[in-house]
Amino acid sequence: MSAVKPPAGREISPELARVAGRRVLVFSPTIRFRLGPGDRALVEPGDSVVPGMPIAERTPDAELIDVGRLDTPNGMPRKPAKGPSAADDKSLEPLWKEDRVEAAAASAMTRPPMAVRATPGSAPIRQDRRRAPVPGKWWVGGAERREKLSKGKPAVRVGGTLLFETHGRWRAAAGERHQIVESPVAGVVRDARNAVEVTIEVAGAAMPGAIAAGEPSRGYLDVPRLTDGELWASALDVGRAGAVVVAGSRISAQAISRARAMSIRGLIAGSVGEGELRDLEASELRQKASLAPSVPFGLIALDGHGRRPIATPILALLAAMAGREVAIVTDPPLLVFDVAEVPLPELPPDWIRVRSGVHAGREGRWLESAGFYRFRGGIHLDAAVVRFFDETDTTVIPVSDLERFVF
Amino acid sequence: MTSQPRAFFAVDLGSATTAAAVLGHVGGRLRLIAHTAAPASVDLDSMLIGLLAQVGRIDPEMFEELCAGDPPDIPTLVATWPRVVARTTPQRRIAVLAGSRRQRRRLEAAALRAGWLVVGGSADEDDPVALSRMVLSIETNAVLLGADHSPAGDEKRHLPDLAALVAAAAQSRPELTVVLAGGAAGYESVFAALADARSRHQPIVSSGVESGAGAFEAEPMAAESWEKAQTKLASPRTETDGEAATDEAVIDGEPPEETVAEPSDSQGPAADSLDAGQPEAEPRDAEETWAEVLVTVEPGAGEPVGAATERVAAADPADPATVDAQAAVALPFVAAEASPVFPHVLLAPDAEAGQPAGASLQQVLEGLRAFPNDSRLGVARSIASLAYVLDRSIETVEIGLQGGLWSRSEPFGEGHFTVVSSHACLADASFAPANPSEEAIDSVIAWSTAVLDRHKAMDRLNDLRLTPWGEADGEGAVFRVTAAKAAFARLIAAEPEMAANPMPELLIAAGGVFASAPPSVVALAMADLVRRHGVCHIAADGARLFGPLGVIEDESERRRLMANLADDILMPLGSLILPAGVRQGRSAGHMRLKGASSAAEIELHAGVIQVVDLPPGRAARADLDFRDAVRLGNRARHFSVDVGGGLGGLLVDLRDIPMRISDRPESRRAALEAWQRGMWPEVDE
């Protein structure tokens, strides 16, 4: 069985319908890249992107720059912004409103189209310069642009986005250093706003995760042999450079450090602890602060923080996709398969998995509803009788601890 | 529909839990017939069908009476009976900007009390780039720029720059709502140019996927609302019963109109993208609001006047027959609709206005944040009505996934016709806060009876947020109660003024986190945290009806319903006697408990909490003779108080006020565990 679009849901019993459904695949999800002051989008809504294409340019060390007065497109200095005084006198508008002025203003507010494959400093910037200064507009300047050139010092060029204008003078968030953000996926740009965000509608299918950290990254999917559902950190060697590796039930801090050192692009696991996430965040910050940043590295945990093995249907799906290019996206947490057709494992409709509690990670079949049942601690919960696939006896589990797979 | 039904559904759509109840006219008055609760992932209609089927099986005669004749099939009843729906508003973030740190703190306090997640900065402390980063962040839903009513020099000189910064950010993010408080309202003209920019911003809809800002927005936004750029003046309106509402006067633009979230076929793929980060069954987000059909019933001859909010999950909302069927019946009262209005620039009072200081701004921000049928604010309104009906001072603690509420209402003045109410609604008081702070982790560890390091505590809290109903038994139940106590402790720490009030006559525990815990444990949690001397009754909102009943707009109608339902919806947990000043280390005295048919004498021991079995529905008189003078309302040695029974019995808490527990982790855990084991023996099973 394979999926090229969301398959229609199979009929299940009302009791089984009370079990939370876990969607294994989503189709054409929208992903987001957050930008901040000083960052600009290199794409426009409607643009098609492919993996590796620059979509944004970040300014990691953006600081406040007094840009000064900026000329409007017709060469005249822009009128200083007024303070909290009275509103415009509408009665004077007909005296100076002219068609060509309105047309020029309208064109100034419309963003000119940018080349999709733009690189910093090329055509888009020249086009951008012709627009009236507005918040978020890309600005490039240096000491000489601000008439502060000091003798004997090389001119430093900074770039960033305009922030706001007061008393006729513009402020910008700009810096010397810039980093290009490349799209890890193929898709269509849905929104692109300087200093705010770039959103892309992904072409293809994706597997949702619970937690993602690091940076969006891309590589070939490597599904090594797991020992008791775990992957030893020593298995992460240089031979896996460029891969997104399935790392078993839990990612350790040692595995993360080793994977980054081996130029592995990402790790996929059932769970990851908060301590490991903090270590990774600190490592990312150090990496960004260095002058020679390494390749993007991302990790995704499919279930949460508590240790749980990867669900067998998901592991089967990953095994079927082994060797193909996949991308880890952090917002929202997704493992993206660019292909539209994903091989799906065959599962009986009553196949369930325990997602929390003492039996977390175990899988089996739903037998029947057990009604309200008294569990440990004297807690009464809606319960179900299940049979785990490696047992002959039945077990009563709270329905709220179960999940079923929805493709 | 052949005849008018004599029942309706009350539904509380929480983030983690969906609670549903059937209310009907039985025996000449409105009664709670049945109620249930399930994870938010469970389909509402199937829940209601199961609930009605149970009612029909258990009492067929009453079921027929409710149906006013031969009962049709149950799915038809579920589709046609009216529903009062309250829903939890998802967490929203506001960026607070001020000229000075002093002003920022005041504004942040008001925003926090209004339930916002708050990030803040001031011009005297933070770089404009850092301030812009806060405002431009896509997670920020609104900006509060505030100053004193007459700004002093320290903030006045920064205001032009801040106003320009916020206006520029709003130009880049037209979906942003800007609140200008106090003296910052003088800079409204800076935002005048935004109207054009906002009207140009339209969500891009292509192939059924909404993109742009709306693609990640938690709230439904009708396209028309973007075109109505308007500035509103918000001022608090005080009612005689202590209730307050936001009175909005339109200064510029069209008056606010009702926006109705139409069902849209284009939401499927968008929902995919939004749900992508979590399994299907995870806590409900507000995008489900798109699946909500608001049916307004016009007043007509022979028909009750009102509007009903109908949530149709399984039925096809596009089917006119379905909608007509639902519109055929209505509630005899007006319920608030889930149609939030998003003004672009809102003028608000300064952070010192109102009584207590900041209350006016809190009301404005609350109205901006919450759905009109917000469940948490509904609880606060219901408590005010209940305080009037019962003529008692009442406090409610409601702890949920998206935040917590602490509300107090008490009758006041001659004849007790006026009810004074105050409440604080904190996002940080969630039992599983998103991105828990170090303080939140500390509070969980402090109340935990198990050994937890910081990372483990954070892992468990984050997992609890991902699957709020996960591991609801055993150790999971213990951790859930711990997290709830920690959340309540954060509420108390954030609201010292409310904590300084005298002990209320009735203390109510509400919220899903308490729903599955044993009643005695809930009573212990209340006793652990409400450390004020006095005597009170403890109850729980077992059916979770306060939220839905609170969305009824007419106060008198709500009071009438409360008068009918008070006995049904309050699940008695017991009574709490909490004296202050009991000397440690020896016998504290004696208590004689005289009931209608029995009497008992109990020796009181300092430093412990003693439980006396007193079942629900039983009343007794407790005569307490202390060895030394203690405070129990007054300072004396002999007291005689009336107490009521409950599922947890009578609790005589002779521990210190405030609670003093060892700072050493082992000793602290041992003390907490000993108290808990006394109230929760099943925990060791």
For the domain spanning A1-23+346-407, the CATH number is: 2.30.30.30
- Portion of chain B with pLDDT greater than 70, in percent: 77
Edge-to-edge order in the sheet of strand A179-182? A40-41, A54-58, A179-182
B279–A82 CB contact, under 8 Å: no
Half-sphere exposure (Cβ direction) of B525: Cα atoms closer than 13 Å? 32
Query: What proportions of chain A, in percent to the nearest 5, are helix, strand and coil?
Result: 20, 40, 45
CA distances from B566 to A267, B31, B32, B535 (A): 55, 9, 10, 20
- Chain B hits for A87, CB-CB cut-off 8 Å, are 189, 192
Contact status, residue A310 vs residue A249, Cβ threshold 8 Å: yes
The Cα A193–Cα B405 span in angstroms is 37
A274–B459 CB contact, under 8 Å: yes
Give yes or no for A166 touching B (CB within 8 A): yes
Whether pLDDT at A168 is above 60:
yes
The Cα B79–Cα B485 span in angstroms is 39
165-184 of B, contacting A, C-beta below 8 A? 165, 167-169, 171-173
Give the pLDDT of residue A407: 80
Give yes or no for B60 touching A (CB within 8 A): no
- What is the DSSP secondary-structure string of B286-349? GGGGGGEEEEEEPP-TTS--EEEEEE-SSS-TT-HHHHHHHHT---SS-B--S-----SEEEE-
CATH superfamily, domain B93-214+341-369, is Flavodoxin domain (3.40.50.360)
For CA atoms B307, B312, B316, B318, give the dihedral sign: positive
Give the pLDDT of residue B207: 30
- Chain A hits for B188, CB-CB cut-off 8 Å, are 84
Contact status, residue B113 vs residue B362, Cβ threshold 8 Å: yes
Strand, helix or coil for residue B642: strand
For CA atoms A35, A40, A43, A46, give the dihedral sign: positive
The Cα A217–Cα B289 span in angstroms is 34
Contact status, residue A215 vs residue A298, Cβ threshold 8 Å: yes
In this structure, what token pair is assigned to residue B177?
Answer: 């709502």
pLDDT tens per residue across span B243-266: 333 333 333 333 333 333 333 333
Q: For residues B599-609, give the mean pLDDT.
A: 91
List, in sequence order, the alpha helices (H) in B570-610: none
- Chain B hits for A7, CB-CB cut-off 8 Å, are none
The set of residues, in sequence order, having a beta carbon less than 8 Å from that of B235 and lying 6+ positions away, is B246, B247, B249, B349, B360, B364
A333–B277 CB contact, under 8 Å: yes
- Chain B hits for A171, CB-CB cut-off 8 Å, are 128
Q: For residues B54-68, give the mean pLDDT.
A: 89
Q: For residues B640-650, give the mean pLDDT.
A: 94
Contact status, residue B309 vs residue B294, Cβ threshold 8 Å: yes
Give yes or no for A208 touching B (CB within 8 A): yes
The CATH T-level fold of domain A206-343 is: Glucose Oxidase; domain 1 (3.50.30)
Give yes or no for A47 touching B (CB within 8 A): no
314-343 of A, contacting B, C-beta below 8 A? 332-334
Q: Which candidate in A15, A16, A18 is best for mutational testing of the B interface (most B CBs within 10 A)?
A: A18
List, in sequence order, the alpha helices (H) in B29-158: 44-58, 60-67, 74-80, 101-113, 128-136, 153-156
A376–B685 CB contact, under 8 Å: yes
The set of residues, in sequence order, having a beta carbon less than 8 Å from that of B615 and lying 6+ positions away, is B645, B646, B649
Nearest 10 degrees: CA dihedral of B607, B612, B616, B618?
-120
CA distances from A64 to A160, A197, B630 (A): 10, 20, 62
Whether pLDDT at B626 is above 60:
yes
A199–B41 CB contact, under 8 Å: no
Q: Which candidate in A12, A15, A30, A381 is best for mutational testing of the B interface (most B CBs within 10 A)?
A: A30
Residue with tokens 């876990």: A22
B189–A86 CB contact, under 8 Å: yes
H-run or E-run covering B498 = helix B496-499
Higher pLDDT, A252 or B575: B575
Give the pLDDT of residue A284: 85
Give yes or no for B313 touching A (CB within 8 A): no
A81–B472 CB contact, under 8 Å: no
**CB pairs A-B closer than 8 Å:** 253
Strand, helix or coil for residue B423: strand
Contact status, residue B377 vs residue B549, Cβ threshold 8 Å: no
Q: Which candidate in B46, B194, B473, B514 is best for mutational testing of the A interface (most A CBs within 10 A)?
A: B473
Q: Which candidate in B132, B158, B275, B453 is best for mutational testing of the A interface (most A CBs within 10 A)?
A: B132
Give yes or no for A379 touching B (CB within 8 A): yes
Whether pLDDT at A232 is above 60:
yes
Instruction: Please name the residue of chain B whose CA is at the shortest distance from the CA of residue A44.
Output: B212
In this structure, what token pair is assigned to residue B5?
Answer: 């039904």
- Chain B hits for A38, CB-CB cut-off 8 Å, are 129
B434 phi and psi, to 5 degrees?
-70, 140
Give yes or no for A83 touching B (CB within 8 A): yes
Whether pLDDT at B290 is above 60:
no
The set of residues, in sequence order, having a beta carbon less than 8 Å from that of B145 and lying 6+ positions away, is B97, B98, B162, B163, B166, B178, B179, B180, B181, B184, B187
Q: For residues A70-97, give the mean pLDDT.
A: 46
- What's the one-letter identity of residue A90? K
Q: Which candidate in A82, A138, A164 is best for mutational testing of the B interface (most B CBs within 10 A)?
A: A164
Instruction: Please name the residue of chain B whose CA is at the shortest distance from the CA of residue A329.
Output: B277
Q: For residues B501-517, give the mean pLDDT.
A: 91
Nearest to residue A115, comparing CAs of A44, A219, A186? A44
Whether pLDDT at B318 is above 90:
no
The set of residues, in sequence order, having a beta carbon less than 8 Å from that of A77 and lying 6+ positions away, is A69, A71, A168
B444: Cα separation from own chain's centroid: 21
Beta bridge pairs of residue A230:
A227, A248
Whether pLDDT at A38 is above 90:
yes
Give yes or no for A175 touching B (CB within 8 A): no
Q: Where in chain B is the domain with CATH 3.40.50.360?
A: 93-214+341-369
B136–A196 CB contact, under 8 Å: yes
A37–B136 CB contact, under 8 Å: yes
In this structure, what token pair is assigned to residue B476?
Answer: 């999971």
Q: Which candidate in A249, A281, A376 is best for mutational testing of the B interface (most B CBs within 10 A)?
A: A376
Domain boundaries, chain A: 1-23+346-407, 55-177, 206-343
Whether pLDDT at A302 is above 60:
yes
Q: Which of A65-79, A136-150, B60-74, B561-575 shows the highest mean pLDDT?
A: B561-575
A171–B128 CB contact, under 8 Å: yes
pLDDT tens per residue across span A105-160: 444 444 433 333 334 444 444 455 567 889 999 999 876 555 555 666 666 788 99
| Residue in B164, B269, B276 closest to A165 by CB | B164
Nearest to residue A178, comparing CAs of A293, A70, A66? A293
- Chain A hits for B38, CB-CB cut-off 8 Å, are 18, 382
The set of residues, in sequence order, having a beta carbon less than 8 Å from that of B632 and lying 6+ positions away, is B533, B534, B535, B577, B578, B579, B580, B624, B639, B641
Strand, helix or coil for residue B396: strand
A338 phi and psi, to 5 degrees?
-65, -25
A83–B160 CB contact, under 8 Å: yes
What is this model's ipTM? 0.82
112-141 of A, contacting B, C-beta below 8 A? 134-136
Give yes or no for B598 touching A (CB within 8 A): no
Q: Kindly report the average pLDDT of chain A as a whole number.
A: 82
pLDDT tens per residue across span A340-354: 778 888 888 899 999
Least confident of A123-137, A262-276, B392-406: A123-137
Angle at B492 between CA B486 and CA B498, to 5 degrees: 160
The Cα B94–Cα B365 span in angstroms is 10
CA distances from A273 to A283, A389, B166, B589 (A): 16, 28, 38, 51
**Smallest CA–CA separation between B165 and chain A, in Å?**
5
- What's the one-letter identity of residue B683? V
A190–B212 CB contact, under 8 Å: yes
Q: For residues B48-53, give the mean pLDDT.
A: 93
Give the pLDDT of residue B595: 85
CA distances from B290 to A349, B44, B294 (A): 29, 15, 10
Angle at B416 between CA B414 and CA B420, to 5 degrees: 110
In this structure, what token pair is assigned to residue A233?
Answer: 């950190």
B474–A304 CB contact, under 8 Å: no
pLDDT tens per residue across span B401-438: 999 999 999 998 877 788 999 999 999 999 999 989 99
- Chain B hits for A370, CB-CB cut-off 8 Å, are none
Q: For residues B34-55, give the mean pLDDT.
A: 92
Whether pLDDT at B139 is above 60:
yes
A381–B516 CB contact, under 8 Å: yes
Residue B335: pLDDT band (50, 70, 90) is: low
Angle at B478 between CA B472 and CA B483, to 5 degrees: 95
For CA atoms B55, B60, B61, B66, give the dihedral sign: positive
Whether pLDDT at B334 is above 80:
no
Beta bridge pairs of residue A188:
A48, A201
Strand, helix or coil for residue A63: strand
Least confident of A59-68, A115-124, B635-644: A115-124
241-270 of A, contacting B, C-beta below 8 A? none
Nearest to residue A26, comparing CAs of A50, A48, A2, A5? A5
Residue B476: pLDDT band (50, 70, 90) is: very high
B229 phi and psi, to 5 degrees?
-70, 125
Residue B312: pLDDT band (50, 70, 90) is: very low
The Cα A327–Cα A207 span in angstroms is 10
459-488 of B, contacting A, C-beta below 8 A? 459-460, 462-463, 466-467, 469-474, 476-478
Q: How many CB atoms sit inside 10 A of residue B38's CB? A: 20
Give the pLDDT of residue A333: 96
Higher pLDDT, A206 or B317: A206
The Cα B2–Cα A65 span in angstroms is 73
Give the pLDDT of residue A365: 95
In this structure, what token pair is assigned to residue B164?
Answer: 């320009």
B161–A166 CB contact, under 8 Å: yes
Whether pLDDT at B214 is above 80:
no
